[in-house]
Structures are given as C-alpha cells and as structure tokens.
Chains A and B, each alone.
Chain A
Amino acid sequence: DTAVSQTPKYLVTQMGNDKSIKCEQNLGHDTMYWYKQDSKKFLKIMFSYNNKELIINETVPNRFSPKSPDKAHLNLHINSLELGDSAVYFCASSQSGTTGYTFGSGTRLTVV
C-alpha cells in the first residue's frame, strides 16, 4: 500500500504551459504539504494544508496554486511554467501533534 502517492512521476513541458501534479495520502493524516527540491537537493516548503485550510504559504510565486478537494488530496497547479520551475516536487503528509512527515516519491518537472 502506497502511503503518499504522486502523479505523474515525470513531467516534461514547455515554457508557458500550465500543468498540475496530484497527491493522495491514505494515512488519515490531517496535514499535507508541497516541497520543492532544487538541483542542489535543498528541500524547501511551498505550502501546507491543514483540514482544508492553507496555513503556510511561503514566498512562492502566485503562479503556483494548491488545491485540496479533501484532506486526503492536495494537488499543485502551476500556471505559465518557467525554466526556473524545473525541480523535483514532493508531496508529504503528517498528523497534527505528531512528528515526522511521510513523503511521496516526487514528481520530476522539467521545463524546456
């Protein structure tokens, strides 16, 4: 059973396109996140959602928009993709009051 699953695993697209990445968790966690990992492996938080409410939104361009239809899903939509958006995007989940995140296997986005 996959705990946190992301689709697609790989995404190659042209500049200016709009794309979405989907994430689902079956752990019953109440908080989900999107992290961006750059080419130097630096993992930086983009968004977190707790009970369908956005609780953190770091300095991320508004071309990125998270959407959570329910607490088991957190999708990431990206408008007008730029070369600098190329990275690995990780979805993660956790339960409030506990430690540790469970990460998905990542979506490798390449913008050409």
Chain B
Amino acid sequence: QKEVEQDPGPLSVPEGAIVSLNCTYSNSAFQYFMWYRQYSRKGPELLMYTYSSGNKEDGRFTAQVDKSSKYISLFIRDSQPSDSATYLCAMGEYGGSQGNLIFGKGTKLSVKP
C-alpha cells in the first residue's frame, strides 16, 4: 500500500458546484497536512495546511483532516473556471526532516463555465 493515495480523476464539474477532493494515508506518524494547487506547466503552490484533526477554512476552501480514519479532504465552494488545476495533497511527520513531505499523485479538476 502506498503511503498516500489520491484519486487522479479527472474530475469535471460545472461552475458553482461544490468540489470534494480526498486523500487517504497509511502512516500514522503524519502530523501535518497540506493541499497544493498546480496549474498546467507551473510549480505547485501551497493552498492550505493544517496540523490537527478538524476543519480549517480559507475563503471558498475548507481543509478537513480525520486522523482516526487517516483521511483528508479539500472542499471548494462555488467553484470557478480559474480553479481548474491539479490538486495535490501532501503530508509529513512533525519534527521529522522537512524532506519527509510525501505527495499524493494529484487530482486533475476541470470547472466548466
């Protein structure tokens, strides 16, 4: 079993829809969790990060972590065509080497006008 599993999609939704992106993981030592957004032919950019279980909201984006189920989600409300990108989850061990950040394979999202 891979450390981080993420459905690659592609996922296509109409503008205004609520999008749910998910990752599961197997390493219970992971303590911090992130979501990156990557536009075509660009580098990943940090969208959200969280240390603990629960929800974290930032504008139209909500990150959710359930450590007991080893499951994280990113919700996008009122999705826009500009949200069309690949979304990568990433996670790492607290206090461990910074290089222990493990990425999911990414989910390609397309928001249709």
Is B41 interfacial (CB 8 A cutoff)? Answer: yes
Is B60 interfacial (CB 8 A cutoff)? Answer: no
Closest chain-A Cβ to B103's Cβ sits at a distance in Å of 4
- Cα distance A92–B103 in the bound complex, in angstroms: 14
- Cα distance A19–B103 in the bound complex, in angstroms: 27
A-side binding surface: helix, strand, loop or mixed? strand
- Asked if A102 and B46 make an inter-chain contact with CB atoms under 8 angstroms apart, the answer reads yes
Instruction: Contacts A40-B105, A41-B86, A99-B49 given; indicate if A104 touches B99 (C-beta within 8 A).
Output: no
Contact of B99 among A4, A48, A99, A108 (CB under 8 A): A48
B residues with a Cβ closer than 8 A to A are: 8, 32, 34, 38, 41-46, 49, 51, 86, 88, 92, 97-101, 103, 105-106, 108
